[in-house]
Amino acid sequence: NTELPGEERPWVTVRLRVAEPEAVDRVGLEELIEGEIPAHIGYELEILPLAGAPGPSGERP
């Protein structure tokens, strides 16, 4: 009766780096991801700025 190692639910992290994160259609991406991965797999979507790209205020990180 030993438990198996690992998570109970499989999980995927989708990390997208783009120049303008606020311009990305998050809902559209979520629909695409949900259509591509099996229903029993959970996911997390991260939309991040490119390294060195200016942020929404125009400042560089």
DSSP string over 1-61: -PPPSS-SS-EEEEEEEES-GGGS-HHHHHHHHHHHS-TT-EEEEEEEEPTT---TTS---
The answer to whether residue 61 sits within a structural domain is: no
pLDDT digits (tens, 9 = 90+) for 17-27: 999 999 999 99
Per-residue pLDDT of the chain (61 residues; tens, 9 = 90+): 787 777 688 999 999 999 999 999 999 999 999 999 999 999 999 999 998 766 556 655 5
pLDDT of residue 22: 95
The answer to whether residue 45 sits within a structural domain is: yes
The answer to whether residue 55 sits within a structural domain is: no
The answer to whether residue 42 sits within a structural domain is: yes
The answer to whether residue 57 sits within a structural domain is: no
Per the structure, the complete domain to which residue 20 belongs is given by 11-49
pLDDT of residue 5: 75
The answer to whether residue 54 sits within a structural domain is: no
Number of domains in the chain: 1
